[in-house]
């Protein structure tokens, strides 16, 4: 926590948590895009006669669109339940910021 004596600014400790949670979201999005591209273009680039089917859908579509979407939803639910934390969004005093820091260090 940065505390500047000349301007009275106290850096909000929630910024570090928000940065980490944003990186989780970006990582999940990049993984989703890579899986979609590999499954869609990798499996769907051959002739139609050579396609394999899963539950009536071409394998590339099933994996790229349906299974990948289910995995992305499950991944988002996991991140929200296990990696992200509930935090107040209102302004914080210096004392509240210090207590928030102590609570974050314990968890």
pLDDT in tens, 66-106: 999 999 999 999 999 999 988 888 888 888 888 888 877 66
Which percentage of the chain shows pLDDT scores above 70? 88
* 7 or 45, higher pLDDT: 45
Work out the pLDDT band at 45, boundaries 50, 70, 90.
confident
Element (H, E) at 13: none
How is the chain split into domains, by residue range?
28-87
CA distances (Å), origin 28, targets 40, 65, 75, 77: 18, 15, 7, 11
Q: Does residue 44 carry a pLDDT above 90?
A: no
> What is the per-residue pLDDT for 103?
79
Here the tokens at position 76 are 């988002």
Query: 32, 72 in Cβ contact below 8 A?
Result: yes
Out of 13-17, 23-27, 96-100, the most confident range is 23-27
């Amino acid at each position: 926590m940065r505390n500047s004596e000349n301007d009275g600014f106290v850096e909000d400790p929630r910024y570090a948590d928000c940065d980490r949670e944003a990186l989780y979201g970006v990582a999940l999005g990049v993984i989703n895009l890579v899986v979609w591209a590999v499954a869609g273009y990798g499996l769907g680039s051959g002739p139609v006669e050579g396609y394999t089917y899963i539950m009536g859908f071409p394998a590339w579509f099933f994996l790229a669109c349906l299974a990948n979407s289910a995995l992305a939803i499950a991944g988002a639910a996991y991140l929200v339940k296990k990696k992200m934390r509930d935090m107040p969004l209102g302004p914080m005093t210096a004392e509240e910021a210090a207590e928030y820091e102590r609570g974050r260090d314990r968890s």
